[in-house]
A = this chain, B = another copy of it.
Amino acid sequence: MTSETVSHAQLANAIRFLSADAVQKANSGHPGMPLGMADVAAVLFTRFMKFDADQPRWPDRDRFVLSAGHGSMLLYSLGYLLGYRDVTREELENFRQLGHVTAGHPEFGHIQMADTTTGPLGQGITNAVGMALAEKMLAARFGGEVVDHFTYVIAGDGCLMEGVSQEAISLAGHWKLNKLVLLWDDNEICIDGKVSLAQSDDQILRFQASGWNTIAIDGHDPVAIAAALEQARSSDKPTMIACKTTIGKGAPTLAGSEKTHGAPLGDKELAGMRDALGWPYAPFEVPDDILSVWRAAGTRGSAERLQWEKRVDALPADAKVTFVTSLQGRIPDATDAAIDAFKQKMAADTPKVATRKASQMVLEAVVPTIPQIVGGSADLTHSNLTITKDMKSVLPTDFTGNYIHYGVREHGMGSIMNGIALHGGLIPYGGTFMVFSDYCRPSIRMSALMEQRVIYVMTHDSIGLGEDGPTHQPVEHLASLRAMPNLRVFRPADPIETAECWQLALQWTHGPSFLALSRQNLPTVRTYTKENLCQLGGYVLSEPEDGKRDVTILASGSEVELALKSQVLLNAVGIKAAVVSMPCWELFDAQPTTYRKAVLGDGLRIAVEAGSTFGWERYVGLDGAVVGMTSFGASGPADQLYKHFGITAEAVADIAVARLKQNA
């Protein structure tokens, strides 16, 4: 896309100066990477990327992931140069300022060009694997006529050092995601100094060990960059292009030094860079001839996009409806009907099953209604019960399946699910043991921050898992996840609540849901209601006939049964108790004060949960009590553990009796 009068160097230098000047003006940010990768980015965006700056969310655009998110000015410079409407010169001049789209790190939903939020290293490359996988899966469903795009990633040494990148690299190689191209910014510099301080890996060999195509080039040579991209695009494997670059390329005295990584270059260095690169223009000024070449590149995909729209229109009617509905993320009405029928059946059958089993029963009912659902597990399929009879495994040779074997890679699973959700067209859920939610916590946080519908199916949710012991027993996890903004933590008590929580998770398009499910069997405690009671977050499950109560017992999940037993014990000694089921604090806290007060009651409140007591004071106050865990668990049969840790109906009743006596 270079014109007769504009050189590649000028195109790349436009990125360099916009980036360095914005960091300088903000007096904060990371110039080194944008300067180092400007040549690669210029070639990629002016000659290879398929996109249309006028329609940034075109579903079949090539995806671009700046995994090294600290180099955000690279993306913003590109956005401005290519003519994305949200990145104005004013936004560049307000880099890293509150209320502007040009945030410190690229944020999905804030800036049109960001296909994902990056900054936490290793996340981007793993999201990209999810995007490339989603492309394969959708292409297998709807055909290459309407789904056919590449996913490009720029990653630095930091991304490749993070363990999650290995999970991503391994899976991408396994699945042969040949439309994934990773551009490694091989600049030999990390924050502490030379990469060789902390790394001696042969990255080429590492990627080859996972089945990747590899190419090594001079990352400042536009001809080599273009040739490598051409070769990558025709590979039958994912491709890693090792781009040997100089960090801070162009800075006269600091290029090649870690000093350019995370601090402004300084006025003097910038002036020297202007001299060295022959760039006499003021900060944020790009000469018209250079800008016009960039702007032309920004919309060169328009024609292709219009042709794509025609091809979508030409899809068979059924396929078109499914395709469009899937891209819009709508859940079919049939799903709600299936949930309702399931609830009625459970109310009639009153089975005693673990909520992980109940979850599988729900999935058996709803998966056939949702063509875009994609299940999976981190190698615990038959423990998490995340698969249904009709689900089919996704294989390197066949992407028509709807079930993903992630291997023992919880972190990768979470971040790949984020990539799938961000791509659009599919709704991912994935399972592991709840204690290992710690492994994918960085992914869960990104799901929440990016407001993505990703469903974490976390089983074995307390000491109730028994013999596997404290390494496998979640204790602090419910509290620690409830503390996370924009994450809904569900802990259903029985099959009916499980169905309701699944319904809420599927319907919520603006954030992730976390289902905490029991290993052990639980009775059906709910009766059928047309209304989804779990959407209230907490509700009175059982109360004295006259509605008057001395004490309210709050519980979630497996402890709701225990709370009901306490209620009986208390009734026997003349104390009236109500039991409140609290499957989702986040939803309960969103209810009107009057509702919450009515549910919680005026009297003594006691919470019981086989997890950390931490946080329950929000509901029971300083006068109430919490029966729960204050230490790690232990290895033994579940019923013995409940007694050992004092989480019993008797303990709850005893505390109620003692407190009421004390307060009388």
Binding site for B on A (CB under 8 A): 26, 28-29, 69, 96-99, 103-105, 107, 117-122, 157-159, 161-167, 170-171, 173-174, 190-193, 195, 197-203, 205-206, 208-211, 262, 377, 379-383, 393, 396, 405-409, 411-412, 435-436, 438-439, 441-442, 445-446, 448-449, 466-472, 475-476, 479-486, 612, 614-615, 617-618, 621-622, 629-632, 634-637, 640-641, 644
A377: which B residues are within 8 A, CB to CB?
192
On chain B, the residues within 8 Å of A479 by CB distance are 479-480, 483, 614-615
Known: A96-B469, A162-B408, A485-B629. 5 other contacts (CB 8 A): A96-B636, A163-B167, A197-B405, A617-B621, A622-B622
- A319 CB → nearest B CB, Å: 29
Find A407's partner among B190, B382, B469, B612 (CB 8 Å cutoff): B190
Which residues of chain B come closer than 8 Å to A105, judged between CB atoms?
468-469, 471-472, 635
Chain B residues with CB under 8 A of A405: 192-193, 197-198
Q: How far is the CA of A202 from the CA of B212 in the complex (A)?
A: 11
**A397 to chain B: closest CB distance in Å?**
12
Give A8 to B29 CA distance when docked, in angstroms: 63
A466 to B104, CA, bound (A): 9
CB-based nearest B residue for A95: B467
Q: In the docked arrangement, what's the CA distance between A170 and B446, Å? A: 26
The residue of chain B having its C-beta at the shortest distance from the C-beta of A631 within the complex is: B485
Per the bound structure, the CA–CA distance linking A414 and B85 in Å amounts to 44
Give the top 10 A-B pairs by smallest Cβ distance, nearest first.
A163-B163, A98-B636, A198-B407, A480-B480, A119-B471, A166-B166, A103-B635, A205-B209, A479-B483, A104-B469
Q: List 9 A-B contacts (CB under 8 A).
A: A104-B467, A161-B379, A163-B409, A191-B379, A199-B407, A201-B209, A205-B209, A208-B209, A485-B630
Decide if B198 touches A107 in the complex (CB within 8 Å): no
Complex CA–CA separation, A381 to B203 (angstroms): 24
CA distance A630 to B589 in the complex (A): 12
Question: A635 — which chain B residues lie within 8 A by C-beta?
Answer: 96-98, 103-105, 107
Bound state CA distance, A300 and B475, in angstroms?
42
Contact status of A97 and B615, CB under 8 A, knowing A441-B441, A475-B485: no
Bound together, the chains give a CA A201 to CA B469 distance in angstroms of 31
- Docked Cα-Cα span, A158 to B173, in Å, equals 17
Do B157 and A161 touch (CB < 8 A)?
Answer: no
Q: Which residues from chain B contact A617 at a C-beta distance below 8 Å?
A: 615, 617-618, 621
Q: What is the bound-complex CA distance between A97 and B449, given in angstroms?
A: 42
Q: A103-B635, A200-B174 are in contact. Are A117 and B471 (CB under 8 A)?
A: yes
Residue of B nearest to A622 (CB): B621
Are the C-beta atoms of B471 and A480 separated by less than 8 Å? Answer: no
Q: What residue in chain B is nearest A110 (Cβ atoms)? A: B635
Chain B hits for A467, CB < 8 A: 26, 28-29, 96, 104
| Contact partners of A96 in chain B: CB under 8 A | 467, 469, 635-636
* Cβ-defined contact, A120 with B408, below 8 A: no
Q: Can you name the residue of chain B whose Cβ is closest to the Cβ of A258?
A: B382
For the complex, give the distance between the alpha carbons of A406 and B436 in Å: 23
Specify which chain B residues have a CB less than 8 angstroms from the CB of A472 in the assembled complex: 104-105, 119-120
Which residues does chain B contribute within 8 Å of A396, judged by CB atoms? 200
**Once the chains bind, are B158 and A408 in contact (CB under 8 Å)?**
yes
- Closest B residue to A443 by CB, please name it: B438
With A476-B483, A480-B483 already in contact, the answer to whether A379 and B192 are too (CB < 8 A) is yes
Say whether B483 contacts A615, CB under 8 Å: yes
Asked if B612 and A483 make an inter-chain contact with CB atoms under 8 angstroms apart, the answer reads: yes
CB distance B485 to A97 under 8 Å? no
